[in-house]
Amino acid sequence: MKFFIDTANLKEIEDARSLGILDGVTTNPSLISKESVSNKEEIKDHYISICNLLKDEENLSAEIISNNYEEMIQEGEKLSILHPRIVVKVPMTYNGIKAIKYFSSKNIRTNCTLIFSTGQALVAAKVGADYISPFIGRIDDVSYDGLNLIKEIKKIYDSYHFKTKILGASIRHSLHIIECSKIGIHAITSPIKIIHSLIYHPLTNIGLEKFLTDYKRKIK
Ligand code: E4P
């Protein structure tokens, strides 16, 4: 399973790189607003800086902020030529679906975001989205089962051999990642701190401490 990092922060991306687990980056307007950017030109430069940290097949999902169809097309086309690693992130709306269909016909890669139902996932795949981002944590937040949505989408996509990749998003804790890997989806996108939490286990710490204490007691 691929590990994307859900951030616009360059240090976090470098951290994921040094850890050896980086497969790509996803951003959204809220994440961008946390960085030191204050206008569209600075945002473009920031996207380029992120892309310059990536290599091989890794890509960056950069989200369009327009709702109007023509503006979505203009914005997506500009993003797609900004850097070859950019995947245009398009919200799951009526105009968003039309825009994904258009981008797909122009070989511009897309990530359909804000997916909360199987119907939305089905339509996004029909129009040729390269990725969909179902928001697991935000579904759990309103007392539904985010992971069950992932299972259902996987079943539908497998049945019809859709090429659209499922990118499990809105990850809140390590169990979300583990369960996504058991379901067998292509990728998750997670805050780096949740990736870190996969590494730690109290029994590992206790075990290591005992090994070192035993060693130091005997070995001079
Ligand atoms: C997806 O690509 C989004 O950026 C993200 O996963 C949303 O997560 P949140 O619900 O923690 O904001």
SS3 103: helix
89 noted as active-site residue? yes
Rounded distance between C-alpha atoms, residue 5 and residue 136, angstroms: 15
Rounded distance between C-alpha atoms, residue 186 and residue 179, angstroms: 13
Count Cα atoms within 13 angstroms, Cβ side, for 106.
16
Catalytic annotation, pick one of 11, 89, 163, 182: 89
Please state the pTM of the whole predicted model: 0.96
Tell me the residue type at 209. Answer: E
Supply 86's token pair: 């950019």
User: Residue 127's pLDDT is what?
Assistant: 98
Measured in whole angstroms, the distance separating CA 20 from the mean position of its chain's CA atoms is 17
Ligand 1 pocket (Cβ < 6 Å) reads 6, 26, 28, 113, 133, 135, 137-138, 169-170, 189
Among 27, 28, 60, 176, which residue has the most ligand 1 atoms within 8 Å of its CB, making it the best to mutate?
28
| Per-residue pLDDT tens over the stretch 73-101 | 999 999 999 999 999 999 999 999 999 99
Count Cα atoms within 13 angstroms, Cβ side, for 63.
21
Percent above pLDDT 70 for the chain: 100
CA distances from 1 to 32, 105, 178, 182, 198 (A): 25, 28, 10, 10, 14
| Per-residue pLDDT tens over the stretch 159-215 | 999 999 999 999 999 999 999 999 999 999 999 999 999 999 999 999 999 999 999
SS3 116: coil
Indicate which residue's Cα is closest to atom 6 of ligand 1. 170
